[in-house]
Structure 1
Amino acid sequence: MSLTIESLNHQITDGHGKRQLLSDLSLTVGQGECIGLMGDSGSGKTTLLNLIAGLEPIQQGQIILAGVALAQASEQQLSDLRKTQLGIIFQQYNLLSSLSVQDNIAFSARLADRYDASLCTALARQLDIQALLNQYPLTLSGGEMQRVAIARAMSAQPQLLLADEPTGNLDDNNSSCVVELLVKLAKSHNTALVLVTHSHNVAAKMDKIYQLADGQLTLVNK
């Protein structure tokens, strides 16, 4: 399995003191499986992604990614895991403005020591950005930047992709196209996908939809 979450509990401190954000939460995501994660603002969706990515410490419970138990992993192990097994697609794209589109796409793959020129070329073609390779991020539209961000995340051939509201800045048409491409790429590369979204249309393109409320995940019928 790509991702296993077991009995995860997480508390945060807000204006009212300590609050239980995640309560005995469990989830299993298999290779090539695409999961949509929905929930109200403040329900813990982004925190859950951060915990999966090893960006926040696990308070109680366990997350196992690519065979690594994150609760017992060292900072170096977590860093290596993010480089080699995990792809993250941000709502704000986070492209490097000083690098061309071509070099942005290759960035994650080079970091993971998995650079494959033919794969980067194929990703650019599949995402219809091959004509933009010599341009720089500041010259691109929102939809184009999101496609570049997807290509960059996929170029390192991760086992798991995390996407936090990846279409939040796109119109409905671009949003639909980007998500369809993302799911198609995940399936073709046997990469698991966990995607946070407020859009029911986006979530409907996933294999499964989970609602996060009161610290628990509930499987939603499509």
Structure 2
Amino acid sequence: MPLTINNLNHQIHDGHLQRWLLTRISLEIAPGECVALTGDSGSGKTTLLNLIAALEPLQQGEIYVSGQPLHRATDKERSRLRKQTLAIIFQHYNLLSCLNVLDNIGFSARLAGRYDESHSLSLAKHLGIDHLLEHYPDTLSGGEMQRVAIARALSARPKLLLADEPTGNLDNRNSDQVVKLLLSLAKSHHSALLMVTHSSAIAEKMDKVYQLKDGCLSRRLLGEQNG
């Protein structure tokens, strides 16, 4: 199973107090399954992604990524997991300014030892950035940088893909193309996809939709309004 979460609890500082941001979170995502995570701003969606990616320390509960227990993993094992098994599409791109678009796309795949230039070029073409391969991030628009970041995450064919509002800086046309590509590649490579989104239209395209509210995770039926 690419992702299993058991009874996850997480506290944060809120002013001078501590409060539970996440309580008793449990979730499983199967290979090739695409899941949307919805909820109001500040509900803990990004924090949950960071915990799954081992970017924040786990306080209580269990997280398994491709069978590896993050709650018992060493720093070296967590680092290797981020290189080999999962990929993250960040809200703020995190592109490397010293690399051109093609090298940014291939960066994660090179770290994982799975670089395939033809795959990188195919991703660039599907995302409409193949004319920008020799350009550098500081010459790109926000939407172009977002598409480079998406291509980079997909280049290593991860077992688990975490996406934090991956279409937030894209117009409707490009947003539809990106979501279609993410879903297609997740299915064809048997990768699990967990996508944070505020868009009901995007959430409806997923296999399952979950909502974070008041620290708790609940499944929404497709077609049900977010509330």
Q: Matches of 2:210 and 2:154 in 1, distance apart?
A: 24
- 1:40 equivalent to 2:40? Answer yes
Q: Matches of 2:32 and 2:144 in 1, distance apart?
A: 25
Task: Read off the aligned partner of 1:158 and give its amino acid letter.
Answer: P
Calculate the TM-score normalised by the size of structure 2: 0.92
Runs ≥4 in structure 1, deviation > 3 angstroms?
A: none
Q: Matches of 2:114 and 2:169 in 1, distance apart?
A: 30
- 1:13 equivalent to 2:5? Answer no
Q: Matches of 1:67 and 1:120 in 2, distance apart?
A: 28
Task: Read off the aligned partner of 1:146 and give its amino acid letter.
Answer: Q
Match in the other structure for 1:2: 2
Match in the other structure for 2:205: 205
Q: Matches of 1:153 and 1:93 in 2, distance apart?
A: 10
Match in the other structure for 2:82: 82
Q: Secondary structure of 1:98's partner? A: coil
Calculate the TM-score normalised by the size of structure 1: 0.94
Cα shift at 1:44: 0.9
Cα shift at 1:164: 0.9
Match in the other structure for 1:122: 122
Task: Read off the aligned partner of 2:5 and give its amino acid letter.
Answer: I
1:168-205 deviations in whole A, cap 9, x for unaligned?
22233332222222222222222111111111122122
Q: Matches of 2:174 and 2:121 in 1, distance apart?
A: 22
Name structure 2 gaps, 5 residues minimum.
223-227
Task: Read off the aligned partner of 1:147 and give its amino acid letter.
Answer: R
Name structure 1 gaps, 5 residues minimum.
none
Cα shift at 1:150: 1.3
Q: Matches of 2:56 and 2:144 in 1, distance apart?
A: 30
The 5-angstrom pairing of residues 41-190 of structure 1 reads: 41-190=41-190
CA contact (8 A) 2:150 2:166 kept: no
CA contact (8 A) 1:143 1:178 kept: no
Cα separation, partners in 2 of 1:16 and 1:38, compared to 1, 3 Å: farther
Match in the other structure for 1:194: 194
The percent of aligned pairs where both chains have the same amino acid is: 64
Cα shift at 1:16: 5.3
Q: Secondary structure of 1:148's partner? A: helix
RMSD: 1.4
Task: Read off the aligned partner of 1:188 and give its amino acid letter.
Answer: S
Q: Matches of 1:87 and 1:160 in 2, distance apart?
A: 6
Cα separation, partners in 2 of 1:176 and 1:16, compared to 1, 3 Å: farther
Cα shift at 1:57: 1.4
CA contact (8 A) 2:7 2:25 kept: yes
Q: Matches of 2:139 and 2:170 in 1, distance apart?
A: 16
CA contact (8 A) 2:146 2:169 kept: no
Q: Secondary structure of 2:41's partner? A: coil
Cα shift at 1:121: 2.2
Cα shift at 1:37: 0.4
Q: Matches of 1:24 and 1:124 in 2, distance apart?
A: 40
